Homo-oligomer: A and B are copies of this chain.
Amino acid sequence: MSSENENGGQVTIRHVAARAGVALSSVSRTLSGHPDVSPAMRAKVEEAVKALGYEPDFLAQSLRSGTTRNIGFIIRDIANPLFALVARACEQELRRNGYSMILMNSDGSVETESKNLMLLRRRRVDGVIASLVAEDSPYIKKTILSLRRPLVLLDRDMKDLNASAVITDHYTGVFEATKHLLDKGHRRIAFVTGSENVYTTRDRLRGYRAAFTAAGEEVSEKWMALGGFDPEYALVHTRNFLSKNPRPTAIIAGGIGSTAGSLRALNELEIEIGKDIAFVALDEWPLFDIFRPKISSVYRDAQAMGVEAAHLLLEMLNGKNPSESVIETKFTARTSSEGGL
């Protein structure tokens, strides 16, 4: 394999060997970091590499080492601003450590996700970081097990996969948010979010239920819509809740898409948040602070999630066992959770 220098000329490992006055195999051993290379040999080869502007070829290196230094990153949708922040931080951290990120969107489809995983296997990525669409798909489990490469899950709880995970402590933030609404006197608190087949929803629901229990109130299933993280699902189900009599006095929207859909429904019906109804968003996004009125939220640090995911993967690549890293959440009451009563 050859690489090109900045003037477009072909500089190969043969040129390096000729310039250094050593055997081709010596250059190869030196470049692959073989321990059996004398300091004098290393110096000669490095001088020639520098003088000729030789760039070690990734493809050739991959064949020698069996690694590609590529990491697969699978998410539902990079256009979700939370995932975009995770991806940015993760890419930067991987790059700093000599790895590149292959990005794949699963478009919320288990089938696409599975195809992506198989493609990453064929591409011989060194590891995978994934926010899976669902935890209960046996097909995905089988595909993942066949990957046999280090895997870091984002906010998923699948103990039998031998994977590391960046897990969010949703419980704490959602408990506080629900308690805040209950303390104000709300009882009909609608909860619109994705399905319980992911840890994210289950842990949020645990916080929601616990706050009701702590307040000595009963949770009613009729105010829960747990079917999808997409804006369309939240739009339809928020509309539906608002058409009921009595309607909810407060809404908790779980996730960026759910928040968008719920707010669309409220706009459409000209119901003002922070006045006609109390509203809490779970997760913030980059332009969150310029919204009016100010939206009460449960925040988690997406940047930290991305950096942690990269670290956990790098640890596994260095032979460590899978482990878990927990990201905290924090509820902040702002204008949008006023009113409604």
Binding site for B on A (CB under 8 A): 1, 3-8, 55-59, 62-63, 68, 70, 73, 77-79, 81, 84-85, 87-88, 91-92, 95, 100-105, 107, 116, 118-119, 121-124, 142-143, 145-146, 148, 256, 259-260, 263-264, 267, 285-287, 289-293
Contacts and interface: CB of A to CB of B under 8 A. Distances in A.
Interface centre among A58, A101, A118, by most chain B C-beta atoms within 10 angstroms, is A58
Given A62-B59, A146-B4, A102 B105 contact: no
B4 A260 contact: no
A81 B286 contact: yes
List of 5 A-B pairs having minimum Cβ-Cβ separation, nearest first: A263-B290, A103-B103, A84-B84, A79-B84, A6-B146
A121 B8 CA distance: 12
25 contacts: A3-B121, A3-B122, A4-B121, A6-B142, A6-B146, A7-B146, A8-B146, A55-B121, A57-B124, A59-B68, A73-B103, A79-B88, A87-B103, A91-B105, A92-B105, A95-B119, A100-B104, A100-B119, A100-B123, A101-B104, A102-B103, A260-B287, A264-B290, A267-B292, A291-B292
Contact of A260 (B70, B142, B290): B290
A101 B145 CA distance: 24
A81 B84 contact: yes
B63 A78 contact: no
A7 B143 CA distance: 10
Contacts of A121: 3-4, 55
A81 B81 contact: yes
A264 B291 contact: no
A88 B95 contact: no
Given A107-B92, A146-B6, A290-B263, A78 B70 contact: no
A146 B6 CA distance: 5
Interface centre among A6, A68, A79 (most CB of B within 10 A): A79
A280 to B, nearest CB: 15
A258 to B, nearest CB: 12
Contacts of A100: 102, 104, 119, 123
Given A5-B146, A264-B290, 12 more contacts: A4-B148, A8-B145, A56-B122, A59-B63, A63-B63, A73-B103, A79-B84, A79-B286, A91-B104, A95-B116, A100-B104, A291-B291
A246 B5 CA distance: 57
B58 A78 contact: no
